[in-house]
Amino acid sequence: MQTNDLRALLTPAAREMMGELVRDFGERLLLSAADAATRAGTDLREISVSDLAQAFSRLQPESVRSRRTLVERVLEMYMALGVVTGFVGIAGLVAAHYFGRAFLGSDSVAVAVSAGGYFLVFFSFLMQRTRVYNRVMSTRGSIGLDVALHDTAVFIRNWSELELALRERASMLVGETAAHKPISEIAELLRNAGALNAGDLETVQRLLRVRNNVVHGPGPGDPRLLREAIADSRLIMQRLMAAGVS
């Protein structure tokens, strides 16, 4: 089935929600690409295809990005081989001293085998930690603009998830047509339906103002307000999820 055929099956509310999600993902992609473009320490002058590709890779789900590479698999094999080799060397020493069976020839050979095995373990472990460190450092921005971009992208992602949850909840409690309404009206409907309390409604309205300032300008202003909005959006999501389970 073609995607055009699938789009035709979307209800008006689902079509509206899909458009919001695509727009929000585009905003996060753009912010992440701008962050990638400024990693060299230069001013933001242009955003290239490479910057967009890096941004898209960074926005992939953790389960996709955490897949082991061939190098990591080889290092794991070396580590396992080192453990086995080290154990064989120790077993050779024990057999020679307690059972009189020097199957490795001499103590010096057994010590060399054991030391070589555990050196391989240490080397493999060190290489793995180095790769992890480099990966973490490559995802960290420099001081200033990158941190702000990261927080903004996190908030937009959280808001997208929250908006999706609110529309889904409205569709379940009020009806499919309710999910097509603006998010401010949906929050009011959920408050009347008992899905949100007065404090949650006020928080959602404030988060919506932050989202509009972030997306349409002039921005959130104080970075602390953005971090507070991130925490509040997670809290509302947790309450919605708990209400959906109960």
Q: Whole-angstrom Cα distance, residue 34 to residue 55?
A: 8
Q: Is the pLDDT of residue 1 over 80?
A: no
CA atoms within 13 A on the CB side of 131: 15
Rounded alpha-carbon distances, angstroms, from residue 110 to 83, 90, 122: 14, 7, 18
Q: Residue 239 is which amino acid?
A: R
Q: What integer is the mean pLDDT of 189-204?
A: 90
Using CA of residue 26, residue 223, residue 220, residue 167, what is the dihedral sign?
positive
Whether cis (ω within 30° of 0) applies to the bond prior to 61 is: no
Q: Is the pLDDT of residue 69 over 70?
A: no
Rounded alpha-carbon distances, angstroms, from residue 168 to 119, 175, 198, 217, 241: 55, 10, 20, 28, 11
Q: Is the pLDDT of residue 146 over 70?
A: no
CB count within 10 Å of CB 220 equals 20
Q: Which of 244, 65, 235, 219 is nearest to 156 (CA)?
A: 219
Most confidently modeled range among 20-24, 184-188, 235-239: 184-188
Q: What integer is the mean pLDDT of 111-135?
A: 78
Q: For position 145, what pLDDT does the model report?
A: 43
Q: Which of 71, 59, 62 is nearest to 31 (CA)?
A: 59
Q: Is the pLDDT of residue 155 over 60?
A: yes
| Cα 4 from chain centroid (whole Å) | 30
Long-range contacts of 207-211 (CB under 8 A, 24+ apart): 207/159, 207/162, 207/232, 207/233, 207/236, 208/183, 208/184, 210/155, 211/155, 211/156, 211/159
pTM of the model: 0.48
Confidence of residue 203 (pLDDT cuts 50, 70, 90): very high
Q: Is the pLDDT of residue 231 over 80?
A: yes
Confidence of residue 221 (pLDDT cuts 50, 70, 90): low
Most confidently modeled range among 9-13, 24-28, 145-149, 181-185: 181-185
Question: Average per-residue pLDDT in the chain?
Answer: 76
Q: What integer is the mean pLDDT of 12-23?
A: 75
Q: Whole-angstrom Cα distance, residue 240 to residue 209?
A: 20
Q: Is the pLDDT of residue 120 over 80?
A: yes
Looking at per-residue pLDDT, the higher value among 53 and 200 belongs to 200
Q: Which of 229, 230, 224 is nearest to 206 (CA)?
A: 229
Q: Residue 147 is which amino acid?
A: V
Looking at per-residue pLDDT, the higher value among 138 and 156 belongs to 156
pLDDT tens-place string over residues 51-61: 776 777 666 65
Q: For position 205, what pLDDT does the model report?
A: 92
Q: Is residue 13 a contact partner of residue 186, using CB atoms and an 8 Å limit?
A: no
Q: Is the pLDDT of residue 183 over 80?
A: yes
